[in-house]
Amino acid sequence: MPEEQVVDTPESQRVIAPGYTFGSVTDQISTVVLTKHTPLFWFATFAAGFVLLQGLLLSALLLFWKGVGVWGIRMPVMWGWAITNFVWWIGIGHAGTLISAILLLLNQSWRNSINRFAEAMTLFAVMCAGMFPLLHMGRPWLFYWMFPYPNPMNVEPNFRSPLVWDVFAVSTYFTVSLLFWFVGLIPDLGTLRDRAQHLITKYIYGMLSMGWRGSIRHWSVYETCSLLLAGVATPLVLSVHTVVSFDFTIAIVPGWHSTFFPPYFVAGAIYSGFAMVLALAIPLRSFYHMEGLITDRHLENSAKLMLATGLIVAYAYIMETFMAWYSGSVYEQQAFWNRMTGPYSAQYWFLITCNVVAPNLLWIRKFRTTPVLLFISSIIVLIGMWLERFMIIVSSLAQDYTQSAWGLFHATRWDFATFFGTIGFFVVMFFLFVRALPMISIFEVRTLLPQAKVREEVRS
């Protein structure tokens, strides 16, 4: 009984508030979807996202019409914001996979309350990420040339190029994430189907739930499938951003060409991913009054993970600079000296403030348990991580070997429109998700209830 549990666990350590029953968990989560009433804040946020999305459509249209030159990409900085945004978005996705796969395998049951929307976040973030290489291609309508398919040109992608590995890494990541997310949704879709009042709603959830009846056989298949997918997704948490980092490390540009980029990038990805999880969870739970399901314990755990990965990132910055000095290569040294004192020094020191200095406040318990402060720190981390990618890409390309070929990057208004447009896309997709699907896994949260603890009967 819940009353017994209160005694041995202090208030903030709870993964679910006391007083919940199986029925009230289901009620609270499913009514958000099945109610006819759409709250005002939903409309307000959706509208804001929708306006930004129009900026994305407009800039994409202009880009198709006039070419990639509408962005500020000029020699020598041909990657500019497009690849910065790609790396930023794909990194954000990683926390979702970490929560859904690695924490599942590690039996961290607190993840049950946040895995659903974190996985949705992963999917939408990967969609946003995928747009940038496509738009950056110059001739986006020939995107299928990236895949090795039988064609009358008798050409295939250059498998020695990490950009091709990227295609496979990202498309695998998206497919596995989508499958994992959908399989996890099936039992809840069954619940929604059973609770829906309207015939069309019943039909839609009925089709999506693929005949789920909740039989023992169904659950057994579900558990196997879910574990297998978690097993497939786990290496992806490490491999996808590793491959993304190869885009840089394989090149010989000073500031890119180093062997520790993979762990550095993966840590950064999870860092920014948890920042995004917090930036979504904190407003969501207060708007929908879900504090009982997404508790302070979840926020604190995510904050701790953010702090841990943030420290790895800080260590990577130190090592990166140390290795530049230790390498003895004048070009490497020059590249880092330029970062700190050159034309991008303001961005560099701002990045250090956001990513290295600011997260140390999370050592203080108050910062981890006060939602407003935590929300602000997660936004700071998101900005810092964007700047990190900007720094790596733009400052390295702007000033490499030959001084006569140096040049600075100037973002155009269309760079802004595209980037903020993908944020709009993300918000629109996420809010549609919140309205149409259960944002918290109903059946997994029910397993967190004290009532769900099964006592094995001992036969005498």
Partner 1 sequence: MRPAAAGSNLVAMAQIFHYSSNTFARMTIYGAVFFIAFAGWAGYAYINSHYVTRQNQPREQPIPFSHAHHVGGEGFDCRYCHTSVENSSFAGLPATQICMNCHSQIWRTSPELEPVRASYQTGQSIRWTRVHDLPDYVYFNHSIHVAKGVGCETCHGRIDKMPLTWQNADLQMEWCLNCHRNPERYVRPREAITTMGYVPDGDQAEIGRRLVQEYHIQDARLLTSCSTCHR
Interface residue list for partner 1 (CB under 8 A): 21-23, 26-27, 150-155, 187, 190-191, 193-195, 199, 202-203, 206, 210-211, 214, 443, 446
Residue with tokens 């759409």: 38
At residue 77, what are phi and psi to the nearest 5 degrees? -95, 80
Smallest gap from residue 278 Cβ to partner 1 (A)? 29
C-alpha span between 97 and 173 (Å, rounded): 9
The two three-digit tokens of residue 78, written as one number: 């041909």
Residue with tokens 């993300």: 426
Smallest gap from residue 354 Cβ to partner 1 (A)? 43
Smallest gap from residue 22 Cβ to partner 1 (A)? 5
Closer Cβ to partner 1, 57 or 221, answer by number? 221
Closer Cβ to partner 1, 154 or 404, answer by number? 154
Which residues in 239-267 are b (16+ Cβ under 10 Å) and which e?
bbbbbbbbbbbeeebbbbbbeebbbbbbb
Nearest to 313, CA basis, from 274, 257, 367, 365 = 274
Contact 411, 94 (CB under 8 A): no
Smallest gap from residue 399 Cβ to partner 1 (A)? 29
Q: How far is CA 175 from CA 27, 123, 411, 455, in A?
A: 31, 9, 33, 38
Smallest gap from residue 204 Cβ to partner 1 (A)? 10
Contact 125, 90 (CB under 8 A): yes
DSSP string over 381-448: HHHHHHHHHHIIIIIHHHS-S-GGG-------HHHHHHHHHHHHHHHHHHHHHHHHS-SS-HHHHHTT
Smallest gap from residue 177 Cβ to partner 1 (A)? 20
Closer Cβ to partner 1, 30 or 301, answer by number? 30
Closer Cβ to partner 1, 10 or 152, answer by number? 152
Task: List CB contacts of 286: < 8 A, sequence separation 6 or more.
Answer: 371
Closer Cβ to partner 1, 67 or 231, answer by number? 67
Closer Cβ to partner 1, 69 or 211, answer by number? 211
Closer Cβ to partner 1, 155 or 372, answer by number? 155
